[in-house]
Structure 1
Amino acid sequence: MLTRLLGILLLTFSLGACSEPPYTSIDNAQLKTLIAQGIPLYDIRRPEEWMQTNVVEGSHKLTYVDASGRMNPAFLGRFTAEVNKNDPVILICRTGSRTRSLAHELTDMGYTKIYNVRNGITNWISEGNPVVKN
């Protein structure tokens, strides 16, 4: 009986670890499609990063965290004022790490249609996609 219970618990935990994230990760082709549909793209990097690589055309620039990893105090106020919880929104950063964290945070807050650009702007640029001056 105990062995069976342990087996069920192990299966439950292993299935939980394999579950899909509460947001959708997208590649560059999907990003182009969503932008063409008018879904807003938020570049959550810092100003110096925007200057280094420039940005995807039409990006809303809104810094999520500073270089020390502290949340920008203006971020949530502006984001929640601009994006309704049931509206689709795309997030991009340098490599996709910050946007994964933010996507989890936003879904915990009730946002339902979050798209995370897998591998961020570095992959966008490496695939030869255009950027515009910051």
Structure 2
Amino acid sequence: MAEFTLHPRLEDSSVFVCDLDLCQVRLNFDGDLDWLLLIPRRAGLEELIDLDDKDQAQLVKEVNFVSRVLKDEVRPDKINVASLGNQVPQLHIHVIARYKNDRAWPGATFGHPPINEFDEQRAEFWKQKLGLGLN
């Protein structure tokens, strides 16, 4: 059976935060938004339907967990959850804290480059907040 490997584009555009039961959580290199990625650690996944029922349920649980922590910690106006895969075929879920005054509101963040430099301290913040997992 093939092993999980992270798509190079995901690796190059984000930093590791933690591993949950199913997903690797990463923080996108975006200086403006708390933009987290959940990547199921299973080989060859491209679509949600590629996950078995148990892993689909676990993925929803982990998306909910990350969304709740985002909501509690940074109080966004909206949490965007998306799975696109048009540029990176590996299944990954975007969980993004959005604000009415952010650079792309009310539109999608995709295609709108960050205004501010990425701060490594944000990664450390999310490692502390999410690193305890679903306990």
TM-score by shorter chain over 0.5: no
| Larger Rg, first or second structure (1 or 2) | 1
Q: Which structure has the highest strand share of the two?
A: 2
* TM-score, structure 2 as length reference: 0.26
Which is helix-richer, 1 or 2?
Answer: 1
